[in-house]
Amino acid sequence: MKRAVLYTRVSTADQNAATQAHDLRRLAEQRGFVVVREYGDVISGAKARRPALDEMMTAARRGEFDVVLVWACDRLARSVRHFLEVLDELNRVNIEFLSFRENLDTGGPLGRAVVVIVSAVAELERNLIIERVRAGMRRAKLEGRRVGRRPRDIDRLAIVRDRQRGLSLSQVAKLHSISRALVCKVVNETRNGDGHEGSSPHPC
């Protein structure tokens, strides 16, 4: 017997999710599912954060149930893209999805075909995003604009002098609000002739 969870959502507190839950309980009974948990959000469909949905997805990753039942696809996700992402993640952790209104069941042959299409669309979207980011970085480089985090403006001479006068790596790092690793890097570069000072007598 498959373990099922129900997910319902209404947009405002004066709306009632009881009808959604009633239909889903009947559907679970007809399919021979045992309902182990019911999740419900009272939140606008456009909101990104959904506490109950987030909790449900965490439980899904832990393998705490086998199938998700929703009253309608638009109850689950805030957009088509979000729906594809949720469905793709459920598929990756081998959890079936069943929608009451659309009669979409990923446990059947047609539903599995839909999952394949959804997964392909989601993968395509991820690749397009990555390519757009890379194209933007290439364009920025060609235009002479800096790509990535701007290097910290540090006083290399002062760091080397403080290290030469016997301060520990931790003391120098704290004094200049940088990491011990960066202090060590500056001192080593100076010792190797890449900095602006002569060789440091103190090892990193």
* Digit-coded pLDDT (tens) for 171-198: 888 888 888 888 888 888 877 665 444 4
- The C-alpha atoms of residue 106 and residue 97 are separated, in whole angstroms, by 5
- The C-alpha atoms of residue 17 and residue 54 are separated, in whole angstroms, by 18
At residue 195, the pLDDT reads 44
The angle, 0 to 180 degrees and rounded to 10, between the axes of the packed helices 156-164 and 180-191 is 90
Element (H, E) at 71: none
The domains found in the chain, sorted by start residue, are 3-124 (3.40.50.1390), 151-204 (1.10.10)
Residues in the chain: 204
At residue 149, the pLDDT reads 63
Please say if 11 is a catalytic residue. Answer: yes
pLDDT tens digit sequence for 122-163: 677 778 888 888 888 888 888 777 666 656 678 888 888 888
At residue 191, the pLDDT reads 73
At residue 34, the pLDDT reads 97
At residue 137, the pLDDT reads 82
- Is the pLDDT assigned to residue 45 strictly greater than 80? no
Active-site option among 11, 44, 168, 179: 11
Residue that the structure tokens 């638009």 belong to: 74
Which amino acid, residue 14? Answer: D
List b or e across 3-20, with b for residues whose CB sees 16 or more CB atoms inside 10 angstroms: ebbbbbbbeeeeeebeeb
pLDDT tier at 6 (50, 70, 90 boundaries)? very high
